Amino acid sequence: MSDPPPDLSAAAGAVDLAEDVVSRATKALVQQGGVDANQTVAYDLAHAASAAATARASLAYGTRGETEARLACAFVADAVADLATRVFGREAAWGVDDRWMAPAGPFVAAHREPAYLASLCGREGPRHLDPDFELVAETFHRFAEQQVRPHAEHVHRTNGDIPEEIITGLGELGAFGLSVPEAYGGFATGGESDYLGMVVATEELSWGSLGIGGSLITRPEILTRALLYGGTEEQKHRWLPRLATGELLAAVAVTEPDFGSDVAGVVTSATPVEGGWLINGVKTWSTFAARADLLMLLARTDPDRSQGHRGLSVFVVDKPRGPGAGFLFHQDVGGAPRPAGRLEGRPIDTLGYRGMHSYELAFENWFVPEDNLVGRDDGLGRGFYLQMQGFENGRLQTAARAVGVMQAAYEAARDYAAGRVVFGSPIIDYQLTRTKLTRMAVLIQATRQFSYQVARLMASGQGMLEASMVKAYVCRAAEWVTREALQIHGGMGYAEEFPVSRYFVDARVLSIFEGADETLALKVIARKLLEGA
Ligand SMILES: Cc1cc2nc3c(=O)[nH]c(=O)nc-3n(C[C@H](O)[C@H](O)[C@H](O)COP(=O)(O)OP(=O)(O)OC[C@H]3O[C@@H](n4cnc5c(N)ncnc54)[C@H](O)[C@@H]3O)c2cc1C
């Protein structure tokens, strides 16, 4: 019977080995000319480093009990095997020889043994949240089950709007105030709950639906962080209490048709006029922009393009609510000596992630009062920095969104596999199905635990690199988990009436927004690793 006891100390040795390989490769890349000259290896290095950090978090989880140790060992073994496929044939670029993996060989063999993985099927492991956070999880899970899931399929299939009762219900639960400090009407107390509560709530809402539940609090969170870092006291008091209750909802308008990953290049302009600024230009992919009351807009306040990211500032742009199908607003100048403003929003139809709706926004002389420049005069030229502060939080939240979608897909696959009889047996009895389900559960628990760890790090003012790592890693994992969950459903996985088909298309967006996977890997993770080498 090949069911070895989980060997956490060997797992720790394997994680040490993986970290050592990452460190060697980092130094080798510095010598070989850096990230841009070695993009392919640098990309793999960023993902390997993210996997190693996830493995490190799962080791801590493994000490909590027998099931936890088994799941942790299975994760570490798979992570090392994945690392091996990245390194094989490219050892010189990684700065290792072809025997680098030998010390971890016996551990990986034992914990990737198919019978070992199959025996773990159905063991998902507890989350180990403190009672306060367990209550948060239960509360949002119940809301997701009772208020979100019943609408999810209809909104997806009709490309409909998010029902208002979901938004008001979330407001009543305090979901929009999780990151807003108590002093400004929210629930953040300055401890680890500031991030962990948001992560737990987001996971549960995304389990309900990525499109109509899990993504609603992302945008107000991004704006909240930017205001906390860079807003004036007057601005914090003006917007944060109403963001905390959900009275004001926000959208983010950063991406432009010619500038997505390269945020520093955006060209939408803000030109000073009497009492404020005139916005001109086109933004794209601004999600939730119709329903939102506020747009967090990144615009160029310094017309000298050579200033790059130093010429950018963030504005909070007031706008009326508009219909999901698209909108056109005109601004009354009221006798002021300036041209009339115009703002048009055109929805972009998408494969999944429906309900939120994303828009191309055309601004023509749209007037924004001077009080709405975040930070007022001190905020001039600091927009890129403030936007990135907000995005770091958004990345952690996106990781939590991915964990929620994976959990939903896993549960659907597990339940379907138990009921579907093929060749005379339920497919859950077949080894291949069992190892797939185990690997899903292992990935979900490991990435969940890493997201908790990053939340705690960020609450203590650290964790910026880790927020990018967890986002990059878990969003790729979500593609695999939802793909396999769909596959376990056979033909019915491809039917719209089964939610797993929605999880599959929803998961696909996660590696694109909040930092496209390649950009995040190369420009943030690999770059930071090499800076520290
Ligand atoms: C559903 C959805 C919702 C979104 N919501 C919002 C929102 O609310 N607000 C907002 O402002 N934006 C939003 N976005 C935009 C999103 O952030 C961008 O799509 C993303 O930043 C990538 O930019 P891009 O689409 O211009 O791709 P590009 O920048 O054109 O990149 C194309 C591809 O090239 C890769 N790439 C880029 N640079 C390099 C390089 N140096 N080396 C190698 N590969 C590279 C990228 O990783 C990507 O795979 C959303 C996008 C989607 C799909």
Domain extent listing, the chain: 1-120, 250-376
In the reported structure, the alpha carbon of residue 515 is separated from the centroid of ligand 1 by a whole-number distance in angstroms of: 7
Residues 57-72 pLDDT 10s:
999 999 999 999 999 9
Q: What is the mean pLDDT of residues 133-137?
A: 96
* 305 C-beta neighbours (distance < 10 Å), count: 10
422, pLDDT greater than 60: yes
Which atom from ligand 1 is nearest to the alpha carbon of 353?
A: 1
pTM of the entire structure?
0.97
Task: Give me ligand 1 centre to Cα 134, in Å.
Answer: 35
Single-letter amino acid, residue 398: T
Residue % of the chain over a pLDDT of 70: 99
What would the pLDDT profile of 463-488 be if each residue is shown by its tens digit? Answer: 999 999 999 999 999 999 999 999 99
Residues in the chain: 533
Per-residue 3-state assignment (H helix, E strand, C coil) for 145-162: HHHHHHHHHHHHHHCCCC
pLDDT, tens digit, 9 for 90 and up, residues 285-296: 999 999 999 999
Pocket test for ligand 1, best of 285, 291, 295 (most atoms within 8 A of CB): 285
Residue 260 C-alpha to ligand 1 middle, in angstroms?
A: 5
H-run or E-run covering 510 = none
Q: What percent of the chain has pLDDT over 90?
A: 94
Q: Is the pLDDT of residue 231 over 50?
A: yes
Q: Mean pLDDT, to the nearest integer, of 355-377?
A: 97
In this prediction, residue 191 carries a pLDDT of 82
H or E element: which one contains 298?
strand 294-300
- pLDDT score of 1 more than 80: no
Q: How confident is the model at residue 217 (pLDDT cuts 50, 70, 90)?
A: very high
State the chain's mean pLDDT as an integer: 96
Mean of the pLDDT values across residues 400-426? 98
Query: Which of 204, 514, 518, 531 is the catalytic position?
Result: 514
Tokens 């010390």 identify what position?
A: 103
Residue range 250-376 forms a domain whose CATH class is mainly beta
Segment 339-349 shows an average pLDDT of: 96
Give the type of residue at 367: F
Average pLDDT over residues 386-413: 95
Give the whole-angstrom CA distance, residue 103 versus residue 85.
16
Note the pLDDT of residue 150.
98
pLDDT bucket at 393, cuts 50 / 70 / 90: confident
Tell how far the Cα of 485 is from the centroid of ligand 1, in angstroms: 26
What pLDDT is recorded for position 333? 84
Ligand 1, atom 4, lies closest to the CA of 285
Contact between 416 and 488 under an 8 Å Cβ cutoff? The reply is yes
pLDDT at position 292, please?
98
Nearest Cα to 248, choosing from 317, 298, 161, 198? 317
C-alpha of residue 402 to centroid of ligand 1, in Å: 17
Rg (CA), the chain: 24
Taking the C-alpha atoms of residue 403 and residue 401, their distance in angstroms, rounded to an integer, is: 5
Strand partners, 359: 286, 347
Ligand 1 atom nearest 514 alpha carbon: 17
CATH of region 1-120: 1.20.140
Residue for token digits 């905390």?
244
203 among known catalytic residues:
no
Closest by Cα among 372, 253, 265 to 310: 265
CB within 6 Å of ligand 1 — which residues?
39, 252-255, 260-261, 285-287, 350, 353, 358, 509, 512-513, 516-519, 522
Residue 107 Cα to ligand 1 middle (Å): 39
> What integer is the mean pLDDT of 493-513?
97
In this predicted structure, what is the pLDDT of residue 3? 67
Q: How far apart are the first and last CA of the chain?
A: 45
Q: Pick the residue whose CA is nearest to atom 40 on ligand 1.
A: 519
Per-residue confidence (pLDDT) for residue 428, from 0 to 100: 98
| CA 122 – CA 119 distance, rounded (Å) | 9
Please name the residue whose Cα sits nearest to atom 38 of ligand 1: 519
What are 290's two structure tokens? 């119709």
**Distance from C-alpha of 382 to C-alpha of 443, rounded to nearest angstrom:** 38
Q: Which residues fall within 8 angstroms of residue 335, CB to CB, at 6 or more apart?
A: none
Nearest CA owner, ligand 1 atom 13: 285
Ramachandran assignment for 174, one of left (phi > 0), alpha (psi -120 to 50 degrees), beta (any other): left
d(CA 247, CA 270): 27
Atom of ligand 1 nearest to the CA of 289: 8
The DSSP symbol for 302 reads S
